[in-house]
Structures are given as C-alpha cells and as structure tokens.
Structure 1
Amino acid sequence: MSRPQAFVNARLVDPASGWDGPGAVLVRDGVIVEAAQGAGLGALSDDVEVVDAAGAMLLPGLVDLRVKTGEPGAETKETLKSAALAAAAGGVTSIVVQPDTSPVVDEPSVADFILRRARDIHLVHVYPAGAATKGCKGERMAEIGLMAEAGCVYVTDADRPIVDSKVLRRVLAYAAGFGMQVAHRPADPWLTAGAAASEGEFAGRLGLPSAPAAAEKIMLERDLALVELTGARLIVDQVTTALALESLQRGLSRGLPVTATASINHLSFNEIDIGDYRTFCKLDPPLRHEDDRQALIEALATGLVKIVVSAHAPAPAEDKRLPYDEAAPGAVGLQTLLPALLAFHHEGRIPLIDLIRTVTCAPADLLGLPAGRLARGAPADLVLCDLDAPQVIDADKLVSKSKNSPFDGRRLQGRILRTVVDGRTVFSADA
C-alpha cells in the first residue's frame, strides 16, 4: 500500500456532512482514517507524508455519471486510459462510461472487458453503464439482469431515445426488478431528426436545421407517465430547457422516483456561443436560449436538478472541422468540469457546498457508490484544488486524445493541485 498521508491546513468541503471550513484528513491503506473538521490531526507518526494544503480546498473526488470513450472500437477518439488520465487531471476519481461503443455494452462480456481494462490501467474508478436495448437500437431489451451481475451501474441507450413506448415500459419494469436505474435522453426523434441547433431566431439567421424545445418536454412527459406506471427509477439524461424543467417539477411533486442531470456545457453556454459556426459548440442536445440556461442554473440552485455531468464526448479534428451541420456533436469535459462549475460560486449564484454536492455525494448516493464523502472508512478519493487560481483553457493542452472543448480560450478560476484515488496520487500539478 502507499505511504500514509496527512492533508493539513486545508479548507474541507464535504457536502455529505454539510461541512465547509478548516480541517485535515488522514489517509492510510487507501481509506480515510480520520477527517478532522475545524481541528488538526494531533501528533503524527514518522511514516506519514504531510501535505500542507496552505488553505487550498480539499474535497471528495468527483463522480461523473456520463463519460464517453472510444474504447472498444474507436480508440482514435479516446481510450479508457486517456479518459482516465483526463479524469485524474480534472479531479474526477469515478467515471461511468456509456455503452454505445463497438461492440455495444449489451452483454456481460463487454462490461467485463471494460472492468478488466480499468483494473489494468489502475488510475481512476471506472464503472460501465449497460445498454437498455440490444445494440442501443431501441427494439429489443438487452440482458439487463446479467449486466447488473457483471457490474453495470445503470442502463441507457446513451444519446438515442427509446421511441417505442412498449419497449421502454418493459425496460423500466425489468430494470426495477433488479434494482437498476434507467437513464433516458428526453428528445422526440421526429422533431429532432437532422437538427444541429435549437429552434429560434438565431438558428434561423444561421440557416441551421433546428429542433424546438418542446421536443424535450414531449418525450419527458411520456417518460414520466411510464415511471408512474412501472414504479421504476429514472435518470433524466441532461435536461436542457425551461419547458422540460416545468414537467420535471410536476413529476417530482407527485413523488415520482426521478433524478435529473444537467451537463456543465448547457449550464455554461447558450446558442449565441455557436458564433460563426463554431463546431466545438455543436452538442447533443444543442445549446439552448439564454432563458433556458438561466432556468437551468436556477434549477440547480433550488435542487430541482441534482447532478452535474461533464457529458464528455470526444471527437477528433476530422469529425469536427466540417460544415456545422455535418460536424459530429459533443465536447470533451473531464478536465474542465470542476473549474467551470466553480464559476457559479465565484459569481455568487450558488453556494460552494451545494455546487460540490452535485458532483460528489449526490451522484455517488444515486448509484450506491462508496465515494463522494470525507468520512472515516470512506475510500481515500480526494482532490486538492486552488479555488481562486485563474487559468485560460487551452484545448491543445488537454489530456484527452480529442481536443474538442467549447471552453477553449475561456478564463476560469480553480486549478487542480492533486488528485488521490484509494490513497494513491494519480495526478499532481507539480509533476
């Protein structure tokens, strides 16, 4: 095991306990053995490596519920190792990889491959999400029970909505029997077919094929009705519009077991950021109106949206440097997730501890993972961050194999100093 470590003189931010203040953490044999809130650790043995945080923020390692890689099948976009390296550089210690690879993660052998590769890489925790339907085609239900046994943490067809309501009903009901959650993208496929932007004056001026915000609301209303019918637990995959937030609020008021996620991209950008056909800002779902972005930030502040994801979706230059409506959607986001999220703290929009909750204990608790907290006996997954350090994002310097970041050139505050997984330092800014 690695040498014991004591992180002292830190600002502990632990949403699970509600603590935001001075403190220290002692790590031994890969677990936290003491988390002193408002105090020091006392006398330490000679074998302990003392890390003086000098007032920097110490928080639990981030848990990212939506990460795409190219492996298996499209390693030129991103490998599991390059994604793990990017996660470590961004303070993300646990990632859930999406199933729409080649082959699709729709049977236990593919999930087992991902878990074995993650063990061999030995950087961050990697959890596979299983496909809800065979081949993510929305036609036949996948082997959900077997994938649950193999270690898949939820099922989803990733970017593809399940159009057939009978199929989705079966998926929800069957997954509920195994205690599995279903993540589903709310998007009416007929209204969104071929769309490259959000419908409105701006898309009209650019001449881009677009989809109305109502497409998200229509599908979400259908999904909520099926949740009410089956009693299954649903993860709303990246809500982006004010209309859908209204539907979500009504569903939660009826006590439906639904949890909504939002991507850091839709919290940080609006449709105007497309500018003169900037393909790094072409996303799926597309960037929305500023009113939708503000509604999403408000939903995050009130707890209506509980989890923020990076929506990490690598695409190489040859897939992005095309005419806008032909370019691949998606953006890398593992390294920019935390500093971009901290912007809402620096702007005074959302308290720091509430922001950190959305990427630590909230996603961990949703999936029943042991991560996301600074407590005795918890895994020693930690991030040391200089909360105020300024940086200008340079996409070319990102660790990901693909460099398609909409944050390229943006000024942010917050710099990862060290990332620790199971007591092992997997990233250091000084290295």
Structure 2
Amino acid sequence: MRYLHIENARLIDPASNLDQVTDLYVAEGRIAAIGHKPAGGGIELTIDGQGKWLVPGLVDLGAHLPEPGYAHKGTIASETRAACSSGFTHVCSLPDTKPVTDSSAVVKLILEKASKAGYSKVLPLGALTQGLEGEQLASMFTLHEAGCVALSNARRPFKDSYVLRRVMEYAATYDIPVFLSANDIALSAGGCMHEGPVATRMGLSGIPRTAETIALAQMLLLIEQTGVRAHISQISCARSVAMLQQARNEGLSISADTALANLIYTDDAVNGYNSQFNVQPPLRSESDRQALLAAVNSGELAISSNHQPHEVAAKKAPFADAEPGMSMFDGFLPLALQLVERGELSLTALIRATSTLPAQIAGIEQGLVEGQAFNAALIDPLLERSFRRSELLSKGRNSPLAGQTLKGAVSAVFIEGHQVF
C-alpha cells in the first residue's frame, strides 16, 4: 500500500479535541494513521507541513452558485474553484438557479457539472416550493432522493403561515432537513440596509431587526409543533441569538448559522454609499456583531459564506438599486482569520464553525480521525495573498477585498484523499 504523508503539520480538529504537531498518513482516500507510520507499505508522496495547519475541510451551508441560468455571474467550475482557494471541500448550493432547483433533472445537472469541475463537492439544496414561489410544495421527497441534502426556499417568502406549516409537516414525515431564512417580507420590503442611525443619516430605507425576529418566532413555534429537522440560515441580530438560545433551553433541537460578512462588518461600512455592502441579510450594528461572535465562540452558530457573485454592472447602480450580495469565496479564509488575529474568535471556534459543525448539520462526516475520508485543507497562516480584482478566481467582481493584501492562504485542499487545489 502506498501512502500520502503529511509531516510536521499542526493538526486541528475540534470534534476530536485534536491540536498537535504530528504526521498524518493517507491511503485509498482515507486517513490510515495519525502520529505513527502504518506497519506496511511505502510512502508515495511526502508534503512538508512545517508551520502550517491541517484542518478538516471547510463546509459552506449557503452559497449562491449562479449555474444553471446566470453563467455571466459565474459557473459551478469557477465558483467551486474559488471555494477551494479558501479551503472549502463541500458547498451547499441554494436553489435560486434558473431554472429553480425544484426537479431531479436540475439536481442531476448541478451534480454532474460539479463532478466534472473537480473542485469543491456541491451539496444541492432543493426548493421547498415550486419555482420558489411560496405556494405549492415542490416534489420534496423526489428532490431528497435525487441527492439534495436539505430543502430551502432561499430568501423567497412563503405565501402564508399555512404553506410554511404544510412544508414542515411534509418534511417531518420523511425526515428531510429544511433550511429556513427568517425574513418578514412585509417589514423588509423596500429596505436596502439595517434600519438605524446610519440609514437615517444617509436617507436610505432600512430593514428593522423585527423583520427577522418576527419571522423567526413564527418558525420556532411551527418547528416545535411539527417536529421537523430545521436549520435557520444566516441570522443577523442579537435578538435572534437570544431567541434561539431560549428555544434550545426549552428542548428544541435546532441549528443556525450566520454569514461571515455579519461577523466582519457593520452598517457603518455603507458610509459613502458603497454598493459592495448592499447584502441580504443586512449588515447590522456593532452590538449585533458582538452577539453573533459570542454565539460562534460558544459553539451555537456555524458560519456560512452567503457567497453571491455579480458582474461589475450589477453593483454600478445607486446603492438602493444595486443587486445585493458579496463574492466571498476568494477571501473567506483570510477574512475569517482576521477575527482570530484580533482576538474576537478563538481558532478552535473558527474551525468548528466553518468545518465540523456545518458538516454535522449537512449530514456528512468531516474530521481528522483514523478511518475517515480525508477531506482537509492545509493552511499557511502567515502567507500573504493580494486580492487584485482581475486575478480573483470567482467570476464575481463584487468582492469587498479587491485591492487588499491579507495573511492566511490555503496551500492544498484534499477531497477523499485526492489533492484538488
């Protein structure tokens, strides 16, 4: 048997309480040994991990992959390559494609294109309702059987609470996980940023926190009633954190994530009407950011990318009219590592929130444990990377990092033992 040997790397896996400098051996796509050479066989390739971290591959719980339908914004190949550059081995793709991911044919197309590209594995999220229109239930069981790890309506609204209840009841019957976004469309309609002093000063329509918390309250009650396996995607405010904590204390089993942008930026970033910071959910206040960081540190929240690539023209309109979203894959890792460098997140919490916790939510195995599939990222925490707009791997040109140089870069990414980046 021939082994891939990674030597002298710092292995970090929060799920198994592993944090030590040691060697790791891989054979036939799986971790054969940690800390000692297997008895038989020889070394096929040795990679020097001195000064680097070897961590379980990152898993993204919510990215907008434009293909099919919006190839001018990006393709599955371009965006999963960009995801690999930040250490993602798996990416959950939202169903707001064109056509919508509400049929097994679209699911098959996405999986085929991702397999052909050969970068991050794509885990499709199927549509909860036909065409994401929020009225008629999609063929949920068929989508799950076709390969969807969960079902979602992206940020599209449901017609009413009755449809939402029916969706949950059906999903609970077949034990299909659902990913839900808390957004009261009536309260958020017309808004383009967080409702607060900054929005007032700039004369922009705001989105109040209650647009999220009122919708979340409704969802929590229906989750309790139906018993569905539910995940709340991309919460943005402190009150939502408190509501989820209370629900868990009362025995409700529910997971949630927040977008990296909401951990890095606040609504102050909108000053100057910079449309790069027009995102949904909106960037909120510093107190909200601190509450989200605390929840990540305590293991209550995962971190998602909310990657949404756009062409230059999509962000050229005035702030309120620009298409919302950030291209996050290219700079996800160095941005996240800034939080560690500033002491706002522990390194263990960051890896847990971007790898082992989202893997658990998505229902996949991910960890540095003997016998498990070797899905991992080798990271050089000191290597600097410059983010020139023309050199971004994503086709999206709406990156907040364009023109910056940051520390922290991926040296290699492995999926089932194969180096893909």
Q: Same fold (TM over 0.5)?
A: yes
> Per the alignment, do residues 24 and 44 of structure 1 end up closer, same or farther by CA in structure 2, a change over 3 Å counting?
farther
Cα contact 1:66–1:97 (8 A) shared by 2: yes
**Pairs within 5 Å for 1:165-314:** 165-305=161-301, 307-314=302-309
Q: Secondary structure at the match of 2:306?
A: coil
Give the counterpart letter for 1:238 in structure 2: Q
Q: Give the match for residue 12 of structure 1.
A: 11
> Per the alignment, do residues 423 and 20 of structure 1 end up closer, same or farther by CA in structure 2, a change over 3 Å counting?
same
Q: Secondary structure at the match of 2:25?
A: strand
Q: Secondary structure at the match of 1:416?
A: strand
Q: Give the match for residue 23 of structure 2.
A: 24
- Report the Cα distance in structure 1 between the residues aligned to 2:97 and 2:381, rounded to whole angstroms: 36
> Per the alignment, do residues 43 and 395 of structure 1 end up closer, same or farther by CA in structure 2, a change over 3 Å counting?
farther
Q: Secondary structure at the match of 2:411?
A: strand
Q: Give the match for residue 338 of structure 2.
A: 343
| Structure 2, unaligned runs of 5 or more | none
Offset of residue 405 of structure 1: 1.2
Offset of residue 397 of structure 1: 2.2
- Report the Cα distance in structure 1 between the residues aligned to 2:338 and 2:248, rounded to whole angstroms: 28
Offset of residue 338 of structure 1: 2.1
CA displacement, residues 397-421 of structure 1 (integer Å, 9 cap, x when unaligned)? 2200112112334553311111112
Offset of residue 222 of structure 1: 0.5
Give the counterpart letter for 1:285 in structure 2: P
User: Under a length normalisation based on structure 1, what TM-score does the superposition of the two structures give?
Assistant: 0.94
Q: Give the match for residue 401 of structure 2.
A: 407
CA displacement, residues 60-79 of structure 1 (integer Å, 9 cap, x when unaligned)? 11111111111111111111
Cα contact 2:315–2:322 (8 A) shared by 1: yes
**Pairs within 5 Å for 1:114-193:** 114-193=110-189
Question: Between the two proteins, what is the percent identity of the paired residues?
Answer: 35
Matched, 1:375 2:372: no
CA displacement, residues 61-112 of structure 1 (integer Å, 9 cap, x when unaligned)? 1111111111111111111111111111111111111111111011111111
Offset of residue 356 of structure 1: 0.1
Cα contact 1:161–1:184 (8 A) shared by 2: no
Cα contact 2:299–2:353 (8 A) shared by 1: no
Q: Secondary structure at the match of 1:359?
A: helix
Give the counterpart letter for 2:32 in structure 1: V
Q: Secondary structure at the match of 2:351?
A: helix
Offset of residue 392 of structure 1: 4.5
- Report the Cα distance in structure 2 between the residues aligned to 1:184 and 1:262, rounded to whole angstroms: 12
Cα contact 1:232–1:257 (8 A) shared by 2: no
Give the counterpart letter for 2:93 in structure 1: V
Offset of residue 255 of structure 1: 1.3
Give aligned pairs, total.
Answer: 421
- Report the Cα distance in structure 2 between the residues aligned to 1:97 and 1:231, rounded to whole angstroms: 25
Cα contact 1:63–1:94 (8 A) shared by 2: yes
Give the counterpart letter for 1:359 in structure 2: T
Q: Give the match for residue 321 of structure 2.
A: 326
Q: Give the match for residue 66 of structure 1.
A: 62
Offset of residue 287 of structure 1: 0.9
Offset of residue 41 of structure 1: 3.1
User: Under a length normalisation based on structure 2, what TM-score does the superposition of the two structures give?
Assistant: 0.96
Offset of residue 45 of structure 1: 4.9
Higher alpha-carbon deviation: 259-268 or 328-337: 328-337
- Report the Cα distance in structure 2 between the residues aligned to 1:367 and 1:66, rounded to whole angstroms: 11
| Structure 1, unaligned runs of 5 or more | none
- Report the Cα distance in structure 2 between the residues aligned to 1:157 and 1:280, rounded to whole angstroms: 24
CA displacement, residues 159-186 of structure 1 (integer Å, 9 cap, x when unaligned)? 2132411111111111122221111111
- Report the Cα distance in structure 1 between the residues aligned to 2:19 and 2:354, rounded to whole angstroms: 16
Let me know the Cα RMSD of the aligned residues. Answer: 1.7
Q: Which residue of the other structure, out of 90, 95, 115, is the alignment partner of 1:94?
A: 90
Offset of residue 349 of structure 1: 2.6
CA displacement, residues 110-146 of structure 1 (integer Å, 9 cap, x when unaligned)? 1111112222222221111000101011111111101
Give the counterpart letter for 1:352 in structure 2: L
Give the counterpart letter for 1:32 in structure 2: I
- Report the Cα distance in structure 2 between the residues aligned to 1:299 and 1:166, rounded to whole angstroms: 31
Cα contact 2:178–2:229 (8 A) shared by 1: yes
- Report the Cα distance in structure 2 between the residues aligned to 1:411 and 1:168, rounded to whole angstroms: 44
Cα contact 1:18–1:353 (8 A) shared by 2: no
Q: Which residue of the other structure, out of 413, 423, 426, is the alignment partner of 2:420?
A: 426
Offset of residue 196 of structure 1: 0.7
Cα contact 2:3–2:42 (8 A) shared by 1: no
Cα contact 1:161–1:186 (8 A) shared by 2: no
**Pairs within 5 Å for 1:72-111:** 72-111=68-107
Give the counterpart letter for 1:246 in structure 2: A
- Report the Cα distance in structure 1 between the residues aligned to 2:220 and 2:21, rounded to whole angstroms: 43
Q: Which residue of the other structure, out of 382, 385, 390, is the alignment partner of 1:388?
A: 382
Q: Secondary structure at the match of 2:337?
A: helix
> Per the alignment, do residues 254 and 161 of structure 1 end up closer, same or farther by CA in structure 2, a change over 3 Å counting?
farther
Cα contact 1:56–1:385 (8 A) shared by 2: yes
